[in-house]
Structure 1
Amino acid sequence: MSNDLLVEQIYNGANELSLPLTEIQARSLGQYVELLAKWNKAYNLTAVREPDQMVSRHILDSLSIVPYIKGDNILDVGSGPGLPGIPLAIMYPEKRITTLDSNGKKTRFMTQAKIEMGLKNLTVVNTRVESYQPDHLFDGITSRAFSSLSDMVEGTKHLLADSGVYLAMKGLYPEEELSELTQQFSCELVESISLNVPGSDGERHLVILRNKY
C-alpha cells in the first residue's frame, strides 16, 4: 500500500472521528505505519500484518482517545510498538509524551521511529513500570495493554500526579474490573466513554479514573 493511500485512509478515518488532521500529522501517521510494517517483518512487534489493518486497528484506535488527553505530561504504559503513545506525540507536539515498555525490541523500534520522524516531544523508556522513577509525575497515564484496571493502577500509582487521571483503553465495558478496583484502591470512575473506531467491529471503551484523597 502506497503512502498516499495510507494517508487517505487515515484522513478518512480521522474525519469519521471528527478529528481534524494537518497534512503533516496525516503523513507522519502514514510514515509510522510504514515503519511499523517494515520492522514487524523481522521483529514481530504486532500480530496485525497488513498496513491497511494497522490503520484501523492501531492508528484510528489510538486517535479515538485524542479528545480526552489533558495536561502537559502523558505516560503511555506497556506501549508495545508505541500505541497510543506515538500517535499522541504526533497529534500533540506541544505535550511531553513518554512511552514505556519492558520489551527491548519494541523500545528499539520506538526509538528509531522517534529519530526518523523527528518526534522531539517523545521520550522512550525501556524498563518495568514498577521500577520507573522519573523526575516528574504525569497528568495522564494511558494504556491499552494492561490485563486489568487493578494491575494498571497498582503498577502506575507512584507515577500519577495528584490531579492526574488514568486513561485505560478497553474492549467491552469492564464492569467486574471496576468493581474489583474500587474494592482494592482509593480510586473512582470519572467517566466511561464508548468509542466508535472506524473499521473496528468490536466494542471499545475509554475508562477514565482518578485517585480519591
Structure 2
Amino acid sequence: MDEVVGAEGGGETSTISDDPLHGTPELRAYFGDSYERVAAFAELLADQGVLRGLIGPREVPRLWERHILNSAAVVPFLGDGTIVDIGSGAGLPGVVIAAMLPERRVVLVEPMERRTTWLFEACERCGIDNVSVVRGRAEEVREVVEADVITARAVASIDKLVKWSAPLLSARGEMTLLKGRSAPDELERAKYVLRRFGLTGTVQSAPTLDGLEPTTVVRLIRSA
C-alpha cells in the first residue's frame, strides 16, 4: 500500500460487541470471503473511532448497520477500473470497498492529515493492501489522481461533488454516490451542473440484509 502526502474524544464505553449484528451468520454470509477484512476494520473503527473523532460515541452499537453495511451497499453498483473515494474521512465507504474488492485499486482522497494517518494505519492493520492514500481536496489532486469510478459518502451535495470531482474522471468514468432520501431533489438541483460535465443521473435502491432499510445510491454516467 502506498501513501501519497500532499497539503494537510465519560461514562461506560461501548464496544463492537454491543452491536447486535456483529458476528451474526447473516453478516458473514453477506460479506463472504471478505468478512474477516471488513470485520477487522469495523472492530478497529469501533475501538479507535470515537477517540480519533471519526464517529460519535452513540454510533458504536450500530456501527454495522449505519456505517459498514451502508458503505458496502454501493459495491454492486461500481463499474470497472480504479475507484477513487472522495473525502474518505473514517474510511467510509473507501476502506470497506477495498476490503470487499481486493483485486481493485482504490484511492482514498482526504484533506485532513490526522485522517490520512488513520486511513493508512487502518488499512495496514487490517491487511487491506490495494489502497493508496492521497492527502488533499478533490480539486487539488487532479494532477496525480484519475478515476474510473468516483465514490463519496456524506461529503457534499451532488452539484458540489460533481464540480469538485468530475474533472478527475477518465474518459468513460462515472460517479457512484451514497446519498439519503433527498437524493431525487439533489439530482434535480444538480441538472445544470450534470449537463455541463456530460453526466446523466439515476437514483437506485441498494439493499443489504433483510429487515434493514436499503441504502440510496446515485449513479452518474456519461450521457449518450
Q: Structure 1 length as normaliser, TM-score?
A: 0.85
Matched, 1:148 2:157: yes
Residue 207, structure 1, aligned to residue 218, structure 2: yes
Equivalent-residue separation in structure 2 for 1:206 and 1:50 (angstroms)? 22
1:182 to 1:96, Cα distance in 2 relative to 1, 3 A? same
Q: 1:159/1:200 Cα in 2 relative to 1: closer, same or farther (>3 Å)?
A: farther
Task: State the match for 2:86 in structure 1.
Answer: 77
| 2:173 is the counterpart of 1:164 | yes
* Matches for 1:160-199 after TM superposition, within 5 Å: 160-186=169-195, 187-198=198-209
For 2:77 and 2:169, how far apart are their aligned partners in 1? 16
**Matching residue of 1:64:** 73
CA deviation string 1:84-129 (max 9, x = no partner): 1111111111100011111222211111012112222111112111
Letter in 2 for 1:204: T
Residue 12 of structure 1 is matched in structure 2 by 26
Residue aligning to 1:27: 36
2:53, 2:211 → 1: CA distance? 22
Specify the code of the residue in structure 1 equivalent to 2:202: E
RMSD between aligned residues: 2.6
Structure-2 residue corresponding to 1:93: 102
The DSSP-based 3-state class of the residue aligned with 1:41 is coil
The 1-side partners of 2:210 and 2:115 are apart by 25
* Contact 1:33/1:51 (8 A) holds in 2: no
The CA deviation string for residues 31-79 of structure 1, in whole angstroms up to 9 with x for no partner, is: 1112112222321111254544111111111111111112120001011
Residues 142-164 of structure 1, C-alpha deviations (whole Å, 9 max, x = no match): 01123210011000121011211
Q: Give the drift of 1:198.
A: 4.1
Counterpart of 2:83 in 1: which secondary structure? Answer: strand
Of structures 1 and 2, the one with the larger relative CO (CA 8 A, separation 6+) is: 2
**What SS class does the counterpart of residue 79 from structure 2 fall into?**
coil
Distance 1:105 1:191, change over 3 A: same
Q: Which amino acid aligns with 2:81?
A: D
Asked if 1:114 corresponds to 2:123, the answer is yes
For the residues of structure 2 that align with 1:6 and 1:204, how far apart are their CA atoms? 17
Judging changes above 3 Å, is the alpha-carbon distance between structure 1 residues 173 and 154 closer, same or farther for their aligned structure 2 residues?
same
Distance, in Å, in 2 between the alignment partners of 1:133 and 1:190 is 23
> Could you list the runs of 5+ residues in structure 1 that have no partner in the other structure?
none
Instruction: For structure 2, list consecutive stretches of 5 or more residues without a partner in the other structure.
Output: 1-15
C-alpha distance in structure 1 between counterparts of 2:187 and 2:67, whole Å = 25
> Residue type of the partner of 2:115?
K
In structure 2, do the counterparts of structure 1 residues 75 and 21 end up closer, same or farther at CA, with 3 Å as the change threshold?
same
